[in-house]
Structure 1
Amino acid sequence: MSFLEVIRGDGPVVLGMPHTGTWLPDGVREALNDRGRALADTDWHIDRLYSGLLDGVTVVRTTVHRYAIDMNRPPDGESLYPGQNTTGLVPLTDFDGTPIWDNPPDAAEVERRRALWHAPYHAALAAELDRVRARHGLAVLYDCHSIRGEIPHLFEGVLPNFNIGTNDGTTCAPELQAAVAELCREAEGYDTVINGRFKGGWTTRHYGRPAEGLHAIQMELAQRTYMAEAPPWTWDAGRATRLRAVLARVLAAVERFARNSCHT
């Protein structure tokens, strides 16, 4: 099976979806323990959540689960959050800090997976961003994520609904960050933080080069906004419909920024 799904649109916005996949090759699945095979740290339903919200959008998605290799981590395995609990290029634990492997991969196996899946995913993403930028004069990468709202191992308390990451304002123009944040804050019944616990993963930090016409922003959603945060991770139609309306406005604002910036 192909582990890459690319939908090419003619607009200036690219959606990255590195964590929606649940596919694991047999050798990887067999090396996981029961805890790992539960795949608890999937960004459940994110592709469904964003489907059809913006005409002409490009989507780059992988079906590989993050336990095989995490597409949103640096290829050298360097921590994105020094001094804080996090997971690596190939996670050894889940988000609760519990080991997920019966037979953890060695360095050679990690490198094999990086070359097999991580590098091609980012080659595809880079190619689409280059294509979009060549067409429009700039491209905006909106990286789509979600996570359980309460994970004491990673953060204290309850995570806000909308977690906007721009690596402290360095990965996109300030007016783009402001436009997304304003719409999130205006949405009734939701709360928002900018560059809180999640400042954007490697994808956002690597591709976000505003001076070169590449803007990147990460949206980390608390999963309670559209689903049940416990197995079997059920889609909540009522909550999802309400959230999709907000996300549609957000993506429309992202596209407006891009099209307006093309002519300045």
Structure 2
Amino acid sequence: MDAWSDSPAASALEAEPPFVVRRPAAGLAGPLVFASPHSGRLYPEGLMAASALDALAIRRSEDALVDQLILGGLEVGANLICARYARAYVDVNREPYELDPAMFEDELPDFARGRSPRVAAGLGSIARIVGEGQEIYDRKLTFAEAEARIETIHGPYHAALKALAEDAVGRHGAALLVDWHSMPAAAARPVGREGCDVVLGDRFGVACSGRVTDAAEAAFVGLGYRVSRNTPYAGGYTTEAYGRPSQGMHALQIELSRGLYLDEAQLEPHAGYDRLRGDLEAVFRALATVAGELAAG
């Protein structure tokens, strides 16, 4: 498993590609695309120098190891794209210029979206907080800093993701984009409410055919997992921006409870990791099947 890095090489944006694409064996590729936008483990020196947090604290928002958990998707013909930079540095599951004006020493341009629920929560494309509300920065940023991150990481990531999705639609007539995430165990078991292991976000039925969500739910439930739909996560920017079922482009966000596989204090896999990875193979097959059915019309 790749380790996180705050090496000098990672401080130069041009030195490290912003994403990695993995493709299935020749002849196996189907209408399925898997994305992991929040599992990146590159933490540039500039971020660490501008933060009052230690390395472990700043990683609290990382969807640790999700990129490893979904590698089995290659076996069912999925193309994979995984962000390499940490979401604490730039969050590719946000609108590109979804920015909190209070974080910056200079005025933001008119095209920046300074008001949104995600910005208000401190989780814009340049996040203000990690974990349980811990402030990342001990100084204000400049817009130029944010722009550099967005243009060199967010933009290329979505250009590549869009190309994968459009190619799948062009080749097969339809495509299913699954945006994979993990959620804190505390979010999966809210106080006073029954908890869940998996959250399926389809933007309340708008981002994909109901057949997709039904198939994903049936696969997880059949394996003994507790599933919630759209609560507490209905799908982020990627699901909203790419989900166009009428155009053959279906998108579903899947959130896995970190309690299933991760020691959240140390961000290391625990004994449940291998079980979850094995169980996900059955989920991948179910997703590939429904994607194939959509492509067949």
**TM-score under structure 1 length normalisation:** 0.90
1:258 is the counterpart of 2:277 = no
Determine the structure 1 residue equivalent to 2:277: 244
Equivalent runs, 1:209-228 vs 2, <5 Å: 209-228=244-263
Question: How far is 1:59 from its partner?
Answer: 0.7
Determine the structure 2 residue equivalent to 1:76: 97
Equivalent runs, 1:10-159 vs 2, <5 Å: 10-35=29-54, 38=57, 39-55=59-75, 56-77=77-98, 78=113, 81=117, 85=121, 87-150=123-186, 156=191
Equivalent runs, 1:166-177 vs 2, <5 Å: 166-177=202-213
CA distance in 2, matches of 1:45, 1:260: 30
Percent same amino acid at aligned positions?
30
Partners of 1:35 and 1:100 within 8 A in 2: no
1:2 is the counterpart of 2:17 = yes
Determine the structure 2 residue equivalent to 1:234: 268
CA distance in 2, matches of 1:66, 1:13: 24
Segment of structure 1 superposing worse, 159-168 or 115-124 = 159-168
What SS does structure 2 have at the residue aligned with 1:150?
helix
Determine the structure 1 residue equivalent to 2:236: 201
Q: Cα deviations across residues 62-103 of structure 1 (Å, max 9, x unaligned)?
A: 110011110101123156647974511111111311211122
Q: Cα deviations across residues 114-158 of structure 1 (Å, max 9, x unaligned)?
A: 111111100010011111111111111111111211159xx6567
CA distance in 1, matches of 2:87, 2:31: 27
Q: Quickly say closer, same or farther: Cα 1:107–1:36, change in 2 above 3 A.
A: farther
Aligned pairs, number: 260
Partners of 1:36 and 1:100 within 8 A in 2: no
Segment of structure 1 superposing worse, 173-182 or 242-251 = 242-251
What SS does structure 2 have at the residue aligned with 1:60?
strand
Q: Quickly say closer, same or farther: Cα 1:25–1:130, change in 2 above 3 A.
A: same
CA distance in 2, matches of 1:145, 1:62: 12
Q: Which has the larger radius of gyration?
A: 2
Partners of 1:171 and 1:210 within 8 A in 2: yes
> What amino acid does structure 1 have at the position aligned with 2:284?
L
**Structure 2 runs not aligned, ≥5 long:** 1-15, 99-112
